[in-house]
Amino acid sequence: MTLTVTVLGATGSIGRSTTDLLTQHDGRFRVGALVGGKDAAALAELARELRADFAALADEGAGPALRQALSGSGIANGAGESAVLEAVAREADIVVAAVSGAAGLRPTHAALRLGRTVALANKESLVCAGHAFMRDAARYKARLLPVDSEHNALAQALGDGRVSDVAKMTITASGGPFRTWTRERIAAATPQEAAAHPTWSMGMKINIDSASLMNKGLELIEAHHLFAIEPDRLDVIVHPQSIVHGLVHWRDGAVTAGLAMPDMRVPIAHCLGLGDRLKIARGRNLDLAAAGSLTFEPADEARFPCLAIARAALAEGGAAPTVMNAANEIAVAAFIRGEIAFYGIADLVERACAHFTGTYRDAPADVDEALAIDAHVRAWSAETLSRRREEV
């Protein structure tokens, strides 16, 4: 049976890995719709290659360029939020939700409301509105499959086991480019140094989140919602080789783990296969003898305070993760522009979490509320940074 796939965020790193797999298994899948951000040329090239039925860009201003690039192809296309939602509304067996950041909430939730099988790579959906997403997944009988390598590994390691039998779930971190750096050296790091991830290439923002370990904090929140597991049964360990991606510690002392080479096509293939195992061309098979040794070390929250901030937000619950994520997106953008130092990211996020404590106590009831909180926190964060620049 041929499965129809829609890819949200098709031109990003996860989207590219997904479309590579779709190309390899052309007879198994057909592409219903592809959604990109603003790169008309890249999206048009993918749409033609994959013979997509529909292509949409989130940036409405890029619509004319997309129409021109797809002229004569017969591929329907559009731009702007309505076009993105049209892409989501088209029939699909699997929707790969790989739009980065809070921008992915609305289209991902729209797919969920249609009862689709959603391969979830947009962690912010669960960070910003996890309660609403999981509630609505159950309400609309949608199926959420984790694409993040850590959560996919946990799902595979858990298997048919019961979360009630789990003592702890652990996700791994490579440690990022600053794993062995002193705090003083990290404080002087440039955006280029922070984005130079030793294992993964995930785009500037996500690479910087990995350097600060905020990415691991976001993943703890995501795991809390995906597996309905309490925060005190979640942990992070640094594993530089990025071969072990997640571990399930059982109450009897046994541990099961998900291992694979660091290749995002592995968890994506697991989701696309819907229970079947897809062969990955040009994939690297794991050879433990060649790897030689696997090492582990605790995460240092003194040098990487973003992880501690995320843990605190998870423990506080309510809208604290929503606030934290919004402030982090503003802070990372300011760091990339050279307006703040690396530790200025943690400083702004911590300030935002403290400022909004008591303002937003309850978890967002729906996506609209989550995005309203997100907009408020972003505005406050940008204004705070502006005032600080004026004071200097």
Residue 389 has pLDDT above 80, yes or no: no
Tokens 């582990």 map to which residue? Answer: 296
pLDDT of residue 189: 97
342-359: average pLDDT: 96
pLDDT of residue 269: 97
364: Cα separation from own chain's centroid: 19
Residue 115 has pLDDT above 60, yes or no: yes
pLDDT of residue 280: 94
DSSP state of 283: P
Which candidate, 109, 60, 61, 63, places its Cα nearest to that of 89? 109
> Could you report how far apart the first and last alpha carbons of the chain are, in Å?
63
Which candidate, 127, 133, 93, places its Cα nearest to that of 110? 133
What is the bridge-based pairing of β-strands 143-146 and 244-250?
unpaired
* CA distance to 80, 184, 204, 233, 381, per residue, from 326 (Å): 22, 27, 17, 25, 8
Residue 82 has pLDDT above 90, yes or no: yes
Residue 390 has pLDDT above 90, yes or no: no
54-67: average pLDDT: 97
Give residue 201's pLDDT band: very low, low, confident or very high (50, 70, 90).
low
- Give the global pTM: 0.94
Q: What is the rounded CA–CA span in Å between residue 306 and residue 349?
A: 8
Which of 59-73, 186-200, 301-315 shows the lowest per-residue confidence on average (mean pLDDT)?
186-200
The answer to whether residue 92 is domain-embedded is: yes
Give residue 358's pLDDT band: very low, low, confident or very high (50, 70, 90).
confident
Tokens 């959420």 map to which residue? Answer: 144
Exposed (0-12), middle (13-18) or buried (19+): which is 256, by Cβ within 10 Å? middle
The tally of domains found in the chain comes to 1
The answer to whether residue 33 is domain-embedded is: yes
Structural contact between residues 319 and 360, judged by C-beta atoms closer than 8 angstroms: yes
The answer to whether residue 94 is domain-embedded is: yes
Give residue 382's pLDDT band: very low, low, confident or very high (50, 70, 90).
very high
**Count of alpha carbons within 13 Å of 355, Cβ hemisphere only?**
16
pLDDT of residue 282: 81
Pairwise pLDDT comparison (284 vs 351), residue with the higher score: 351
φ, ψ (nearest 5 deg) of residue 72:
85, -5
Which of 2-6, 98-102, 293-297, 347-351 shows the lowest per-residue confidence on average (mean pLDDT)?
98-102
The answer to whether residue 121 is domain-embedded is: yes
Q: What is the rounded CA–CA span in Å between residue 194 and residue 216?
A: 15
- CB atoms closer than 10 angstroms to residue 355: 15
φ, ψ (nearest 5 deg) of residue 102:
-65, -20
**Count of alpha carbons within 13 Å of 218, Cβ hemisphere only?**
28
pLDDT of residue 391: 67
Instruction: Give per-residue pLDDT as tens, 319-336.
Output: 999 999 999 999 999 999
pLDDT of residue 239: 98
Pairwise pLDDT comparison (391 vs 266), residue with the higher score: 266
Residue 392 has pLDDT above 60, yes or no: no
The answer to whether residue 140 is domain-embedded is: yes
Both tokens of 76, joined, read 């329907």
Both tokens of 323, joined, read 């606030």
The answer to whether residue 359 is domain-embedded is: no
The answer to whether residue 63 is domain-embedded is: yes
The answer to whether residue 356 is domain-embedded is: no
- CATH code for the domain in which residue 21 is found: 3.40.50.720
Instruction: Give per-residue pLDDT as tens, 63-79.
Output: 999 999 999 999 999 99
Pairwise pLDDT comparison (281 vs 268), residue with the higher score: 268
Residue 204 has pLDDT above 90, yes or no: no
287-294: average pLDDT: 95
Residue 374 makes CB contacts below 8 A (sequence gap 6+) with 102, 128, 322, 325, 326
Q: Calculate the average pLDDT of the chain.
A: 95
DSSP state of 87: H
Exposed (0-12), middle (13-18) or buried (19+): which is 345, by Cβ within 10 Å? buried
- The DSSP code sequence of 254-282 is -EEEEE--S-THHHHHHHHHTTSPPP-TT
Which candidate, 325, 309, 313, places its Cα nearest to that of 357? 313
What is the domain range of residue 106?
Answer: 3-147
Which candidate, 390, 4, 17, 6, places its Cα nearest to that of 203? 17
Give residue 339's pLDDT band: very low, low, confident or very high (50, 70, 90).
very high
Instruction: Give per-residue pLDDT as tens, 230-255.
Output: 999 999 999 999 999 999 999 999 99
Q: What is the rounded CA–CA span in Å between residue 106 and residue 85?
A: 8
pLDDT of residue 102: 79
Give residue 200's pLDDT band: very low, low, confident or very high (50, 70, 90).
low
